[in-house]
Structure 1
Amino acid sequence: MQVRLDGHSLTIPELETIASGTTGITVDPAALTLVDERHSGLRGAQARGAVYGANTGVGANRHEQAGDPDGHALRLLRSHCAGVGPEEDDRTARAVMAVRLNQLLAGGSGVSRRVAEALATALHDGAVPTLHRWGAIGTSDLSALAELTLTLAGDRPWRSGAAPAVELDATDALPMISSSALTVATSALAVSDVHRHLRASTIIAALSFLALRGNPEAYDPAVHAARAHPHQIAVTNTLHTLVSGASPALRLQDPFGLRVVPQVTAPALHAAETLTAAVTAEINAAVENPLVTADGVHHHGQFHTAALAAGLDAVRGAFLPVMSLSAARLSLLMRPDMTGLRAFLADGPPGSSGLMITEYVVQDLLAEMRVTVQPTVSGTVSISLGLEEHASFATQGARTLRTMTRLAPTLLGAELVAAVRALRLSPERLTTGTLREAYDLAAAQLSDDLTDRPLDTDLTRAAALLPTLAALL
């Protein structure tokens, strides 16, 4: 399978497959022709007068004519390559390359065709650059993209693989780094994980419902039709179908951990859907400053990622309550008055601890997540001699969302371990259909030894099961 890059139709699922390293790419010849045309347009504008970054300095040096035109590109790139902070993993690095290439193919950068082709060749051949994380605030990933471009030019080594070095001219440097490709790639991979986690959390919540013998009235579609928030009816219908045929309810009204799953999950789905649209727009956008069009060269502020930052903040704020509700259900599963089983789902001599420690793990993870929910758009900045006095901080929003998505599997996995244990102890509470399939998948991976023992293997395996469970919906 190969993904065709044309500058306007790349999707997040396609980007994920490229990032995985298992899918190749092809480039639309018409897009490369457009790149060539716009490069000629930029060179013509450069010959006629000042063009930001092509024959001038950048930032507060924008009014200074660039000296040594032949060395301007490499000077600009080297000076912007901070090269500090943690290294991004191969998956993220490949996603950055794919995003940046697709943006170049949108035809607004003015970069030379040979540079776009060199990036395509490197991506196709499996070369992976070293990209360091720090050095961006949501107004272009200048440092990381300078690192990528210098690697393409042979100035820095590839971390793995290799690709022929490409020659840069003065009009190639700023067009290559005038992008938030790392921020966008990080956002794309993170929001895709959010979608998977939300689907998996719905399956796990339904398993907990069975174990706790919940009341299905809370999932009656008629209830939710009376206040039809986006996605709430869909979540309700899913849960109503999943728990159909469950054991008779024990309570007139369940605790919130069961009763408000649709109300809490729906805003997270809505926020993730909105962010997905924003990220998809970014990976197919020509945002370089200056922008080269058929009408000429335009200086602008399209590099500012305010919409992306707002979407990232919204997802983090809506995702955390889904995780805290999972923690609430885990606590319910520890309670004998809720399950009819022993405290902490223990199954050994009196005083056995069972799954007691899982609550501590989950609350630790939740505490880590709460730190990430602080809105990044509230930040302030004044840099480059005061010329740049605002930033979106989408970069920080993307990183913190990624942190949340990496913590979430263990948190949800703890609930899964508990729900499966409870259903093992009371198998008559199981239903047929999707939840039975989910239970069987989990039970096959999780130990049936219910005595007190280390739980690390079960928690790790449960976390790894989330994509499989998500695929059931």
Structure 2
Amino acid sequence: MSPTSVAVNGSGLTCEAVAAVARDGIFVTVPPQAVERARQAWEVAREVAGRQAVYGRTTGVGANRNVTIEDDDAHGLRLLRSHAGGAGPLLASEIVRAMLVVRLNQIAAGGSGVDPDVLGALAEVINRWLIPPIPAYGAIGTGDLTALAATALCLIGERPWQGGAGGPHFALRPTDALAFISSSAATFGESALAVRDVTELLRASIPVAALSLHAVRGSAEPFAAPVHEARPHPGQRRVAEAVRGLLPEEITPARIQDPYGYRAFPQVHGPAVDVAEQAEGVVTREINAAAENPLVDVANRTVWHNGNFHTASVGLALDAVRAALFQTAALSAARLGTLVEPAFTGLEAFQAAPGEPGSGIMILEYVAHSAIADIRRLASPAALGSAVLSRGVEEHAGFATQSARATTDVVTAYRTALACELVAAVRALRMQGRTPLGRLGEVYAQAADALDPAVEDRPLDADIGAAADLLPRIAVYGAY
């Protein structure tokens, strides 16, 4: 049963919960202890700023860090207006909502020093499905300043919300301006959605590959436990075990060794499982961290100027995910290649209708390789870029924002390639008149029910769409 609300308290937020709020409209609540934690940080921030220089509160920002700001109420507003200068198409609403819930959780963690009343305002924005319009371009992995400045301008009433009229107006204090926007919440929110989707698709890949193996009468030997005990990489072992749990007990293979698409599936898919799990761990740590600069230390009643705004860990983790996804997507295309070959299926070439010189599922290979070409293009590491900004005082960037965006796009492409394989595997089994037994039979039944049984030449775009929609439902069969 899905939760009706998510308590955002500065710790324990998961990528799954971010997705539930961002996509499904699950309500958020802020427990009193989180508000109290934020209140204590706010009081300490004001206390410390009264006795020493605090970046962004008593000084300018960036190369203006040595400029002293004294009792200037306009400074905060100037900061928000000057930093809300993004460009390009607007971010999807689900990414913006993910950003909002992540920033809510970060402030609840108690390190920002922002007025605690902003927690209630942000929660209302999320629960009423109000969206600050945020352009895509403006961040490079050292803080989503443009996105959060645009959000702040909506909060103070200077810009309108999307999705409803009369949104909450919150008088963000000028001294809190930098503390509110100094975060990578948009990057982390998009990363949380992406790693959640990647994990689901990696799980769905396992029953899809098992259906293909069954359709070509492949061998179960490559998945035997002794094989993977001899080379005990965690992901490889778990993938092999998951496949074994789907295959019927008695399989008579058609050949002594299958192509790599089957024989090396655990060795290629396993690393993708490993890096996706690592990336989810990195992102989960980030969305629950008080990664603020300056960091308000309530226990010691001080602030620490630091570099926790840098998101190299997230960018590098997502770069690895995309590289691994390309490898396993290429293997899916290899299996698809066997499913159009009579020598593997016993059917007409391209699974054409019997007695017809038709094209059958020929086009699926083109679609899959088109999608995989995008995965290959997007797999280029964002971490290979850098930048020198703000008159040379900010001399490095990891471009985690771009890594997150590329991973979002890769999810769409991988889902398409996998859907093509699913269409081909189900059609082959149906035309062979073979229904798998056991848990694999349950997967087949769901897919056969969702996919058109007609085999005459016809457009297959609806089949690909139906297969893509089915993937989340069959992902449970690939749990590892």
* TM-score, normalised by the number of residues in structure 1: 0.97
2:120 to 117, 121, 129: 117
Residues 25, 129 of structure 2: 8 Å contact kept:
no
Aligned residues, how many? 472
Q: Which runs of 5+ in 2 are unaligned?
A: none
Q: Does 1:96 align with 2:99?
A: yes
For 2:453, the equivalent position in structure 1 comes to 448
Partner SS for 1:165:
coil
Residue 39 of structure 1: how far off its partner (Å): 0.8
Residue 385 of structure 1: how far off its partner (Å): 0.4
Q: Which amino acid aligns with 1:440?
A: A
Residue 128 of structure 1: how far off its partner (Å): 2.0
Residues 236, 262 of structure 1: 8 Å contact kept:
yes
For 1:22, the equivalent position in structure 2 comes to 25
For 1:138, the equivalent position in structure 2 comes to 141
Q: Which amino acid aligns with 1:328?
A: A
For 2:261, the equivalent position in structure 1 comes to 257
Residues 232, 263 of structure 1: 8 Å contact kept:
yes
* Percentage of matched positions with identical amino acids: 46
Residue 8 of structure 1: how far off its partner (Å): 1.2
For 1:438, the equivalent position in structure 2 comes to 443
Q: Does 1:236 align with 2:240?
A: yes
Q: Which amino acid aligns with 1:425?
A: M
Cα distance between partner residues in 1 of 2:247 and 2:331: 18
Residue 427 of structure 1: how far off its partner (Å): 2.2
Residues 12, 280 of structure 1: 8 Å contact kept:
yes
Cα distance between partner residues in 2 of 1:324 and 1:21: 32
CA displacement 1:138-175 (0-9 Å, x = unmatched): 10100011111111111111111342201121221111
Residues 141, 311 of structure 2: 8 Å contact kept:
yes
For 2:401, the equivalent position in structure 1 comes to 395
Q: Which amino acid aligns with 2:112?
A: S
Q: Does 1:376 align with 2:382?
A: yes
Q: Which amino acid aligns with 1:390?
A: H
Q: Which amino acid aligns with 2:47?
A: G
Cα distance between partner residues in 1 of 2:76 and 2:354: 70
Cα distance between partner residues in 1 of 2:221 and 2:119: 57
2:211 to 186, 207, 211: 207
Q: Does 1:408 align with 2:411?
A: no
Q: Report matched runs for 1:187-336 at 5 Å.
A: 187-245=191-249, 247-294=251-298, 295=300, 296-336=302-342
Cα distance between partner residues in 2 of 1:93 and 1:341: 48
Partner SS for 1:99:
helix
CA displacement 1:263-293 (0-9 Å, x = unmatched): 1111111101111111011111111111101
Residues 246, 431 of structure 1: 8 Å contact kept:
no
* TM-score, normalised by the number of residues in structure 2: 0.96
2:58 to 37, 47, 55: 55
Cα distance between partner residues in 2 of 1:406 and 1:431: 29
Partner SS for 2:159:
coil
Q: Which amino acid aligns with 2:451?
A: L
Greater alpha carbon shift after TM alignment, 93-102 vs 62-71: 62-71
For 1:464, the equivalent position in structure 2 comes to 469
Partner SS for 1:3:
strand
Greater alpha carbon shift after TM alignment, 322-331 vs 44-53: 44-53
Residue 67 of structure 1: how far off its partner (Å): 6.3
For 1:427, the equivalent position in structure 2 comes to 433
Residue 251 of structure 1: how far off its partner (Å): 0.4
CA RMSD across the alignment: 1.3
Q: Which runs of 5+ in 1 are unaligned?
A: none
Greater alpha carbon shift after TM alignment, 338-347 vs 237-246: 237-246
Cα distance between partner residues in 2 of 1:219 and 1:105: 46
Q: Which amino acid aligns with 2:221?
A: E
Greater alpha carbon shift after TM alignment, 441-450 vs 61-70: 61-70
CA displacement 1:189-228 (0-9 Å, x = unmatched): 0000111101111110000001000011111111110010
1:4 to 4, 7, 11: 7
Cα distance between partner residues in 1 of 2:341 and 2:168: 63
CA displacement 1:39-76 (0-9 Å, x = unmatched): 11111122223211112110001001236711111110
Residue 245 of structure 1: how far off its partner (Å): 3.6
CA displacement 1:97-152 (0-9 Å, x = unmatched): 10000000000000011222211222223322212211111101000111111111
Partner SS for 2:391:
coil
Residue 339 of structure 1: how far off its partner (Å): 1.2
For 2:69, the equivalent position in structure 1 comes to 66
Cα distance between partner residues in 2 of 1:60 and 1:398: 28
Partner SS for 2:390:
coil
